[in-house]
Structures are given as structure tokens and as C-alpha cells.
Structure 1
């Protein structure tokens, strides 16, 4: 399928753009050698805002290196691996086209695709691009969060192998559109709510409840 280009962990920042938390782990940088992948993330990484990042359902963030060039051209600057705040920079993979619930072997770890990354003001501040959230939403290549099913180790160069691909066909990109730009697509996610993080699952359920109420169902 593809492989890991780099494994990245946080350098904690306390810049003004870090917002109410006052610190952020969005600045990820490549590290050498194998890194332990636990249930809630990579050893040596730091997640400062656990409301929207991290936890079991968003333990690891992967972003495709193929999408770097578009952003580099748009902003006329180099973006190094880890520049999107990702733990794993992949190559040779269609991360946006991965299906929710897809299971991958990465190094000696086994992970499951759970959700797209949604942009925030801290991300915009980190890049110093005020309208980054809108640009990122329009671009629609958000990268994917992963749930760790089997702990293990991962290193640069490790292959990524698809062990299971669900039949439902709902991709990371489709969930991103439903959450960020087209909420009318939320009901289509009703059949996979058990695979989604709790916050997105509740959003889908609320939308389904409103739809049922409006039709008298």
C-alpha cells in the first residue's frame, strides 16, 4: 500500500498562537529509530489539548506526503515532514480515500482508521496563515486519525499494509466533508457510528434525530 516516510513527535510550543491552553504539541519533528506506539499515541509525543486531539480514538495522526507539494506551491514555502502536526508522514498511500474502520499493519503495530483531522485556529497560528481553516476545508485532504488496536513499534521506512477494508465505502474524505462543509451528508454516516470518535458519532446521531423528527419518523 505504502510506507512510513518519517515518524514525528512534538516539540512543545508556548507561542501566543497556542490559545487558551498556552502550549501546543502541533509542532512535530522527525525522530530516528523505532518509536513505541501505545493505545493513546507515540512515546515521546505530547498532546496538550485533549478535547480535540489524542485519546484512544485519535491516538495517531497520519498525513500523506503527496499532499505536501500542493500546499508548498500555494504558500511558496517548504513544509517539512511533521509540518501538518502529523505523527506519521506516509508515502504511496491515498489517506483521504481510506475507509473508516480500515485496519492497517504499520511496523509491528496494528491501527484502525477512525476520522479525518479537522483544522483549528492553533493550526492557522502555527503556520501564520489566518484563513488556513477555510483553505484546508476547501482542499479536503485532511489526513486521518488512527486507533491503536495492537501496540508495537514503528520506524521510518516501515511498510503500511491493509489488513481489512470494510465494505461500506465511506472514506476519510467523505466524513471530512460531512463535518466541515456539507452537514447534509451526516445522515449517510449513520451505519458506521460505532467506528467513529464519540464527538462525531453524537453529531451524526443528532442529525439523524432531527431528520426523523422533521419527517414524523
Structure 2
């Protein structure tokens, strides 16, 4: 059965000497409340807005907002990297709000709807690895390695707000969009064919559409 193994929230923490703190250091908690945070935006100190109450988002320019309201990662992927790196990776280590078990998160299609605890969520955007994530991991060429693996979990938009706790079941209703979240990650990492494929989907989120359109125009393709 697919279920929630852990729910995790981040507090402001030092970010490798940068002035702005980061919220990637997420720790398990008993329950989270999720709701649509509205558009991506920057608040005081450049902080963003999370769909998880009390969860700190350090960079409102790159993270947060409706399409990146909640981040889910499979425990099975954490276990893979734990074996690969030869170290323990606790729930929340990758900055995820929901650590799942028994669910192939990376086989999710854009638009899939998840009923999780008392909330309804929608698969909305890929998790694109960044320098802050690399700093947290402290592993050589981490962004490239993580992206090449192609199993980065998924961001979720909040369709209906509610509470989510460890042990809650996850029910998935497939969208039939045919657009794998893993393929969207490949597009974000610069694959021209995947960008074109993604742009063919009318309900693609505005941020992805703008990025892919600009990237293709720049390349003249």
C-alpha cells in the first residue's frame, strides 16, 4: 500500500555563508497542514511561500508558490542514494515535505491527483536540483548526478487543503496526460525534445512554459 512514511518541515538555517537562510533542512514532525499558498513571490528577506504551514522557503525567486506547494520524495530513492553514498539519509534529507513508501513517485504523470490524508494534491512540477541542495549534500558533482538519475520526486499543488500525517494512505487518480514528471525534469535540465513535448500540453504550468519557450527561442530551435 502506498502511504506517507514521514511529514517534514524546515526552519531557517544558515546557507553556506549566504546572507539569506535556507529551509532545505527539513525534519520530521507529527502532522502538516497544507493549503494553496498562491503565486510564487518574494517576501521579507527574499523568502518564499510554502504550501505547508510553518515551512520556511529561503528563496521566493526559485521556490514556493502554487506549483511548488508541497514536495514529495520516495523513501526508496533515499535508500538508493544511501547505498550509493555509503551514509544514512534520514527522512527529509532531500528537502521533501512528504516522504512516501510503496509509491513510484517518479512514474507520476503531470496532473495526477493524490488524495493524502485529509488533503487533495496534484502533480504539478519537477524538483530541479540546485546549488543549495548540493551544499546540503556535500557530494562532488551532486546536481549532475542527481539529475542524471532522473528520479527527483515531484512537487504537488494543493487542490483541497487538509492535514497529512505519517501513516496516511495515498490514493492516486491518473490524469492520462502522458507527461511524466521525470520527463519534465529532463526538459528543465535542457533537453530540447522534452521541452517541445512538454509545450504540446495545454495545461502545462506557466513557469515551465515560459522557460521552455525562452530556451528554445534562444537556441533557435
TM-score of the pair, normalised by structure 2: 0.87
Aligned to 1:200: 208
Q: 28, 32, 37: which is aligned to 1:35?
A: 32
2:78 corresponds to 1:80: no
Alignment of 1:172-191 (within 5 A): 172-191=181-200
Q: Secondary structure at the match of 1:173?
A: helix
Relative to 1, partners in 2 of residues 1:138 and 1:181: Cα closer, same or farther, differing over 3 Å?
farther
Extract unaligned runs of 5+ from structure 2: 38-50
Indicate conservation of the 8 Å contact 2:72/2:100, yes or no.
yes
Relative to 1, partners in 2 of residues 1:42 and 1:62: Cα closer, same or farther, differing over 3 Å?
same
Q: Distance in 2 between matches of 1:61 and 1:88?
A: 6
Q: 38, 62, 82: which is aligned to 1:52?
A: 62
Relative to its length, the structure with more helix (as a share) is 1
Give 4+ residue runs of structure 1 displaced > 6 Å after superposition. Answer: none
Aligned to 1:70: 80
RMSD: 1.9
1:128 Cα deviation from its structure 2 partner: 1.2
1:4 Cα deviation from its structure 2 partner: 0.6
Indicate conservation of the 8 Å contact 1:2/1:90, yes or no.
yes
Q: Distance in 1 between matches of 2:9 and 2:218?
A: 41
Q: Secondary structure at the match of 1:14?
A: strand
2:113 corresponds to 1:98: no
Aligned to 1:152: 162
2:120 corresponds to 1:123: no
